Chain A
Amino acid sequence: MDLLFAGGEVAREDGPPVRADVWIEDGVIRAVGEGVPAPAGARVIAAEGMLVVPAMFDAHVHFREPGQEEKEDIAHGSEAAVNGGVTGVVMMPNTSPPIDTAAVVRMLLDKAREVARIPVYTAGCVTRGRDGAELAGIDGMRQLGVRMLTDDGEPVANPAVLRYAMEYASEFGMFFASHCEVLELSGPRALNEGLVSYRLGIKGSPACSEEICIDRDIRLAHATGAHVHIQHVSSGLGMETVRWWKERGARVTAEVSPHHLIFCEDDIGEYDTRFKMNPPLRTRDDNAALLEGLKEGVFDLIATDHAPHTEFEKAQDFVSAPNGITGLETALVSLFHHFVAAGEFGWDLLVKRYSAEPRRLMGLDPVPVEEGRRADLLLFDPAGETTFSRDFMKSKSINTPFLDRTLKGRIEMVVRGRDVLLERGP
């Protein structure tokens, strides 16, 4: 079916939204501009006051397959992505067993083609079994299209292992994604070391644990010529460390997650495990510094670290409960609510950092709403609102601080090629 989005604006990465109608024929954008006449037989969607936005791409998600399907699987995770306006994801390899050989990659990619309506990519482990010692089956994974190597959830603790992995795999055009912390400094990895950890009587993980490892991993990349991508930076000094190295020409990219921009350690209150993730929420000052880093381009991209866990697991005491919160379904709306609607940054930043740049990181083309491109977009109503109820969620898990909250903004439709992946309806 042909579609015409009439009367709305088109969001783009290099400037504010522009007033334009969008005509899609056979899954391809045929015209973008003012006063596009309705083609015969096309379905006309009244988009006044709304935005047609390039669909998002999340370079950091945990779909828990294989081995922890009670938390999430590719089928549910990819539907959660669609529900949040995301039409491409990169799965992290800290599964059980981990994604460290071609065999596991092949199995997952086959599964994804079968059950997912969006492209699902996977990262591969740096080390076999994520044990930090022996290298994973790097070339076999590369031949199946894996580009990102990471032991996410853990750092590669031994710097010599990471160094030689970088020297080896960079020659294949692969890059490294680093979860940064010095385990000996981190303690039980439950929350930030600071006022809240003292009050709650739990040993905190200091920001310097993360910052030392950020510096270490970029330094190793710089020394070996590798490209390193720093995952989920949570502290102001961590962001400054990335900035310092970028200014010196290191091949480094970095991501920030919505929760590290929006929440801080104070939100933990009295042991609320919905605010428990690793790296942990830090201080209000860190929130402000990360936001500056995002605006100034220190962060190349936004990624959610979508990390589903069951209610049973999250109902344990604060130290025992697992780290992580879901993010795919809430990211775009929460970023709109907290930052775009509040005037902190515009749609151009959102499109650049959560749609275009993550695709470029993965060697993919961005999906701007332009004539001749395949449709890969969403319709967003800034005047609408979204309540993140249990019914709303498509993920298998609901471990998010946004549960049952109502925020400004609403994703009305998601279109990819000929497929209308999501139509919210009234």
Chain B
Amino acid sequence: MARKDFLDIASLTREEVHHLLEQAAPFKEVFTRSVKKVPALKGKSVLMLFYEPSTRTHSSFEVAAKRLSADVIDLDVPHSSVVKGETVKDTVDTLQAMRADYIVVRHKMSGMPLAIARQTKASVVNAGDGAHAHPTQALLDAFTLKEVIPEPAGRKVLIAGDILHSRVARSTSTVFRKMGVEVGFLGPGSLLPRKGPAEGIRRFTDFEEALGWGPDVLYLLRVQMERLEVQYFPSVHEYHRVYGVTQERFARVAGEGIYIMHPGPVNRGVELCHEVMDYERSLINQQVENGIAARMAVLYSLKPGTGEGGEE
């Protein structure tokens, strides 16, 4: 793969997705050894630029970079909001001085990683931007899916929750569709975009009807009522009853052997009841482990200093 940056799933070819998944497998195998490091990026530096707090994604990238023997620099940036008056250019000028080979960016503004990538020679990896994209999450989801369903084409994944505000829903649905998986969205009408999802994505607002569609995997999104600027549903309690995996629905899910995925961290009692956490077909912990291998594959595949970005 001859890319400088890893910014979204939509611009990847099927072959590139396939290649990245192939690449992740041997990295995961390394985790079982006593020495979990490979020297692939020895002498290279990875700059972590997290404008939005994220313990899980941040740690996952950090471990991935260190297992590739890269030096990790964590830039202390304000988490709250963009500093008034600072432009992308100012940020990038600061970053150039660090001479990083890779920049891992998380930002609340959609499109910020692309804006940075256009102005630097370093390889930029999108670790989540606004509601736009979370491509490494999508890649680890794809990797996890293939571990349990090696030939996923034609199988069905139901993504449930706040589709409207979710970068995970956008990127993960896109990667699944590139693998030939059928995708359905389930959620309250107010959190399902009226226009937008790619043609061919099924739209459900009734949980039972969605289960009747026969999904192989139920992918639950984190629902955070407190982060929403207006009220999209009456209460967390009502959400759980109508759109959550209640104990009753869990019995059906388990009975039909449907796998459960979740990008974490989970809200017990909101999108799922706590019994789901001990479910043998819950892939949630597997997703976390695969996140490291997937991110190693991404970092390893990129080519810093190539492409059009950046003037020095």
A198 and B10 CA atoms in complex are apart in Å by: 13
> Shortest CB–CB separation between residue B93 and chain A, in angstroms?
12
A393 and B173 CA atoms in complex are apart in Å by: 45
Residues of chain B contacted by A200 (CB below 8 angstroms): 110-111, 132
Residues of chain A contacted by B167 (CB below 8 angstroms): 201
Interface presence of B129 (CB below 8 A):
yes
Q: Are B195 and A270 in contact (CB under 8 A)?
A: no
How many A residues touch the partner, as a band?
A: 10 to 19
Residues of chain B contacted by A197 (CB below 8 angstroms): 196
Q: Mark A111-142, 1 if CB is under 8 A from B, else 0.
A: 00000000000000000000000000000000
Which residues 95-123 of B sit at the A interface, judged by CB distance below 8 A? 107, 109-112, 114-115
Q: Are B196 and A194 in contact (CB under 8 A)?
A: yes
Q: Mark A34-73, 1 if CB is under 8 A from B, else 0.
A: 0000000000000000000000000000000000000000
Q: Are A317 and B82 in contact (CB under 8 A)?
A: yes
> Shortest CB–CB separation between residue A311 and chain B, in angstroms?
9
Q: Mark A236-273, 1 if CB is under 8 A from B, else 0.
A: 00000000000000000000000000000000001100
Question: Would you call the interface of chain B mostly helix, strand, loop, or mixed?
Answer: loop
Which of B87, B133, B194, B195 is close to A201, meaning CB atoms less than 8 Å apart?
B133
By the criterion of a CB under 8 Å from any partner CB, how many residues of chain B are at the interface? 24
Interface presence of B152 (CB below 8 A):
no
Which of B107, B112, B129, B196 is close to A198, meaning CB atoms less than 8 Å apart?
B196
Interface presence of B193 (CB below 8 A):
yes
Q: Are A315 and B88 in contact (CB under 8 A)?
A: yes
Known A194-B195, A316-B87, A316-B88; judge A201-B115 contact (CB<8 A): no
A270 and B82 CA atoms in complex are apart in Å by: 20
Question: Would you call the interface of chain A mostly helix, strand, loop, or mixed?
Answer: loop
Q: Are B193 and A198 in contact (CB under 8 A)?
A: yes
Residue of A nearest to B11 (CB): A270
Residue of B nearest to A187 (CB): B229
A194 and B193 CA atoms in complex are apart in Å by: 8
Q: Are B87 and A319 in contact (CB under 8 A)?
A: no
Residues of chain A contacted by B88 (CB below 8 angstroms): 315-317
Which of A195, A316, A320 is close to B195, meaning CB atoms less than 8 Å apart?
A195
Interface presence of A347 (CB below 8 A):
no
Most chain A CB atoms below 10 A, which of B87, B107, B131, B197: B87
Residue of B nearest to A203 (CB): B131
Interface presence of A336 (CB below 8 A):
no
Known A201-B167, A315-B88, A317-B109; judge A195-B196 contact (CB<8 A): yes
Q: Are B130 and A202 in contact (CB under 8 A)?
A: yes
Q: Mark A187-222, 1 if CB is under 8 A from B, else 0.
A: 000000111011111110000000000000000000
A318 and B132 CA atoms in complex are apart in Å by: 12
Q: Are B82 and A198 in contact (CB under 8 A)?
A: no
Among all A-B residue pairs, the 9 with the closest Cβ atoms: A198-B196, A201-B132, A201-B131, A271-B111, A201-B110, A317-B109, A201-B130, A198-B193, A315-B87
7 contacts between A and B (CB under 8 A): A199-B196, A200-B110, A201-B129, A202-B111, A202-B130, A202-B131, A316-B87
Please report B residues at the A interface, Cβ cutoff 8 Å: 10, 82, 87-89, 107, 109-112, 114-115, 129-133, 167, 170, 193-197
